[in-house]
Amino acid sequence: MRLLRIAAACALLLAATTVASAQAYPSRPITMVVPFAAGGPVDTVARILSEPMRASLGQSIIVDNVTGAAGSIGVGRVARAAPDGYTLSIGHWSTHVVNGAIYPLPYDFVARSRADRAVAQ
């Protein structure tokens, strides 16, 4: 009988709580940072990709060209952005691999990606 009372109390407690619902993604425009000047090949690919992304996600994709330092400034902006999925980066192997191997950068996106994977698990 005691077990039945405890089970009934737990059921009432669960029924009384409100259900939390996640916010639909995306709820605001997404920024795609291109670490090169407008009109180049990477910018062209970003603009071509942004149209199907806009159609499937239902939100605007803002292509933001952030030039300088062989792409490190644009990639750094994305590495320091909030990890909410609203800031994306597009580039190639020199902006995402070679710059980190050759130059001392003010950000460490390898450590950031490890931390993001740890949070996701």
Residue 23 tokens, joined: 């916010």
Print the SS3 string covering the chain.
Answer: CHHHHHHHHHHHHHHHCCCCCCCCCCCCCEEEEECCCCCCHHHHHHHHHHHHHHHHHCCCEEEEECCCHHHHHHHHHHHCCCCCCCEEECCCHHHHHHHHHHCCCCCCHHHHHHHHHHHHC
| 7-41 confidence digits (pLDDT tens) | 666 666 666 665 556 678 889 999 999 999 999 99
Share of the chain above pLDDT 70, in %: 74
Residue found by looking up tokens 């009432």 in the block: 12
Q: How far is CA 120 from CA 112, 114, 116, 117, in A?
A: 12, 10, 6, 5
| 75-92 confidence digits (pLDDT tens) | 999 988 998 889 999 988
Half-sphere exposure of 108 (CA within 13 A, CB side): 5
pTM reported for the whole predicted model: 0.71
Q: How far is CA 119 from CA 20, 80, 108, in A?
A: 20, 17, 17
CATH superfamily, domain 26-120, is Bordetella uptake gene, domain 1 (3.40.190.150)
